[in-house]
Structure 1
């Protein structure tokens, strides 16, 4: 039972309305609003959201919040079934058009899962997660403390468990669902939705699977953002770009640590919500565009972001009458790189070389933790090092001034030039850097590595899970070799790859 469950689920109203136009009537009835005086009339609770752009959350009330196993329910509304089927067909058609070399391996007769073993291990995970939550809550009750933001945002263990069971059930039944995120072009599938531990129970043609994973993937991929030829227009004469003083540039453009640094662009929609996109039109355009995406450049890897960064911006100092803005976010980023290259031996830029040497070796988090310890920082574990890097990559520039940003300040202290360069991408939208790195990941894994594997080894099964590729046992070395060659070709860094045999015995220690 989930009597004390935090299992609230956000449901996006536009999607609900698209599937069932009068969905509100159903939810209001389920919430007991038709009989407000009867406390037993409601089977769900609704958590209203008063923040713009945030969906309402819902959860079942006790005693209706017991675990409902997949297969115990059936959709009978024909209109809803047709709507869901049309959406599924549109998604699958678009993915087939883009990545037929990957889709073809999702064969219900060959891709199997040991459902009983997977379900048992899912229960083990649920108990472990629940024990952590219970221990934490007991400590809070005993000390009279407050629940931290980190704990309050953690998914409910039982909700995670039910989701895992549903994913297992879909694979067992051969219900494969694939879609491409039109924002960053990531391929989502049953396997990307499956917890990493549960992938150990998969087989293909009776063979075990092997995962080839890129260590320190996000930091490694960010190397592209330090390459002028990735960012600059090929027709641009770089000698005509005159670098400005770095500190003067920071203050003039409002991206020093005291500024908000997130000015919103007018008349530009930067909210690329995959679920609200017209899938058929968006994916068709991607298919046509794919032929033009072989060139490793910002404009081909992430065209939407390239457009946003190329918008002219006005400096804080007023322009003279009739004078037009002479710079863009992208120009400033390129200026920054030119300064780095001209001062490559400067002590302040040594951290860039060190950062990418560690990322290439796959030991960035461990070494960063050691550097934090040497610098006298209080928090210096691998976990804190990874958190600091994620905060530096994905939070707004102004966040560094908050109490919770201590790990981010650590990152800035140890890798100042890397940190400053990252801030340039997030001046007007903190999500741009994350979206850009995921776009680079998708371009490399889906459009270069997977494509080459399929061309050279058409009989080798491949499944992508974002920055990793799964194949059958015995093929891992050729997958590893091609991943190394392609990543080094485009980033100029040889990656460290982790090869892991996916088998239940490794999980169970037998």
Structure 2
């Protein structure tokens, strides 16, 4: 990728020098693994025990990753849960209490060996060849990362603002938040990750990458929301504009025959063919419930419209249930989901039919499709347009999925541009919420 991580983190009471001398291991590989317990893998941020993907470990440290993990366990640095069963349970790991509750963290360079220019060119050429073959497969069968050259081109409008190295974080303010929130006492399992997230931005260690759905990740992605008020660009505070109801909003956009056909052709979705045929015929009838749905989502009142389903429902219950329904396997394992799913089918049958279609072969295609649309519009197309317009090309822009960040003096202009973009390109009005 364009800008890789420069440092890894480990507990400050771990004697790195003694450990690598004892086991004759490269320090940066040991730190690369310990760093996973500090800046945890996506989706495992709240967990003490973490599962580590073999492909991720292989990429980080090479084929000797299991030896390093075993050495760490032998030295009572980590604990290994060997309740492993192929296809059912994964081996999991956690730091021993002595290290989990250490006083702080240290950092170490994990850049490893540098490739010479000729070898780097050859590797880039081979990665491009593998990628072009890989994208012919259905999305969830793909394994090859986006080549660096394509990554740099696709996200150049966002990468530029990181490369200026004017993004910073107010350390005094961030430390005040840490102290006043007593995170070390109340959230010790997350405390290290907070420290590393702050330190990465302060060191301009931005760690840019993307995933299979095209979502763009950076050090900002790992920064907890309550630290965003500490962010600055060239000394000016950054302000965020959040798109509200993003997933419901994009569900309406997915009800488009051209888009459905293109996604099938590109193998970005694999669905039941008969269901797809029926759904496309249904869309040709220009269903009224879809018009009503889009209007309601654009008003920002979708969740409120479902409160009447049960006397004890409020907006938060409806929102939580709706998000689960969009992303789950289609099973009603709670009362809330059963009632909201039934109400969704009754009020907006087109949306319910779309979800059934996307989940007909693999339920992950529902969330994947929404993330792909979000990624294309929010972090590829929109930033690129701004980078070419005379009035906006000098406006700093950072994204955290469906949140856009710019300097305080530019926030009004950014919000205006967001609304214009979605009106012109997706024919929708989007609700925005400004971060204070």
TM-score normalised according to structure 2 size: 0.74
Q: Matches of 2:243 and 2:185 in 1, distance apart?
A: 27
Residue 194 of structure 2 aligns with which residue? 164
Q: Matches of 2:366 and 2:152 in 1, distance apart?
A: 28
**Gap regions ≥5 residues in structure 1:** 33-40, 131-156, 233-296, 314-326, 502-510
Q: Matches of 2:183 and 2:311 in 1, distance apart?
A: 32
> SS of the residue aligned with 1:197?
helix
Q: Matches of 1:224 and 1:186 in 2, distance apart?
A: 18
Residue 330 of structure 1 aligns with which residue? 276
Residue 62 of structure 1 aligns with which residue? 97
Aligned to 2:341, which of 412, 421, 428? 412
The number of residue pairs the alignment matches comes to 360
Residue 384 of structure 1 aligns with which residue? 317
Aligned to 1:304, which of 261, 267, 290? 267
Shift of 1:340: 5.9
Shift of 1:224: 1.4
Q: Matches of 2:149 and 2:399 in 1, distance apart?
A: 18
Q: Matches of 2:79 and 2:70 in 1, distance apart?
A: 10
Residue 48 of structure 2 aligns with which residue? 7
Residue 45 of structure 1 aligns with which residue? 79
Q: Matches of 2:150 and 2:253 in 1, distance apart?
A: 28
1:186-245 CA deviation, whole Å, 9 max, x = no partner? 11011122111111101111111121211111101111122234334xxxxxxxxxxxxx
Could you tell me whether the CA contact under 8 Å between 1:67 and 1:162 is conserved in 2?
no
Q: Matches of 1:114 and 1:380 in 2, distance apart?
A: 40
Could you tell me whether the CA contact under 8 Å between 2:154 and 2:380 is conserved in 1?
no
Could you tell me whether the CA contact under 8 Å between 1:329 and 1:425 is conserved in 2?
no
1:180 and 2:109 correspond: no
Larger Cα-atom Rg:
1
Residue 243 of structure 1 aligns with which residue? none
Aligned to 2:232, which of 173, 187, 203? 203
Q: Matches of 1:358 and 1:124 in 2, distance apart?
A: 40
The 1:168/1:58 distance shift into structure 2, 3 A limit, reads: same
The 1:94/1:164 distance shift into structure 2, 3 A limit, reads: farther
Residue 489 of structure 1 aligns with which residue? 424
1:355 and 2:269 correspond: no
Residue 383 of structure 2 aligns with which residue? 450
1:269-307 CA deviation, whole Å, 9 max, x = no partner? xxxxxxxxxxxxxxxxxxxxxxxxxxxx5469xx3324x
Shift of 1:166: 0.4
RMSD between aligned residues: 3.2
Aligned to 2:358, which of 421, 425, 432? 425
Residue 322 of structure 1 aligns with which residue? none
Q: Matches of 1:434 and 1:378 in 2, distance apart?
A: 29
**Gap regions ≥5 residues in structure 2:** 1-10, 12-45, 124-145
> SS of the residue aligned with 2:360?
coil
Shift of 1:339: 5.1
Residue 104 of structure 1 aligns with which residue? 160
> SS of the residue aligned with 1:106?
helix
Shift of 1:357: 2.3
Shift of 1:103: 0.8
Shift of 1:446: 2.2
Residue 7 of structure 2 aligns with which residue? none
Q: Matches of 1:26 and 1:492 in 2, distance apart?
A: 53
Could you tell me whether the CA contact under 8 Å between 1:95 and 1:103 is conserved in 2?
no
Could you tell me whether the CA contact under 8 Å between 1:225 and 1:231 is conserved in 2?
yes
Shift of 1:434: 0.5
Could you tell me whether the CA contact under 8 Å between 1:336 and 1:421 is conserved in 2?
no
1:164-204 CA deviation, whole Å, 9 max, x = no partner? 210110111111211121x2101101112211111110111
Aligned to 2:306, which of 368, 373, 381? 368
Q: Matches of 2:217 and 2:367 in 1, distance apart?
A: 17
Could you tell me whether the CA contact under 8 Å between 1:176 and 1:190 is conserved in 2?
yes
> SS of the residue aligned with 2:267?
helix
> SS of the residue aligned with 2:162?
coil
Aligned to 1:466, which of 393, 396, 401? 401
> SS of the residue aligned with 1:50?
coil
Q: Matches of 1:496 and 1:340 in 2, distance apart?
A: 24
Could you tell me whether the CA contact under 8 Å between 1:221 and 1:491 is conserved in 2?
no
Residue 479 of structure 1 aligns with which residue? 414
> SS of the residue aligned with 2:161?
coil
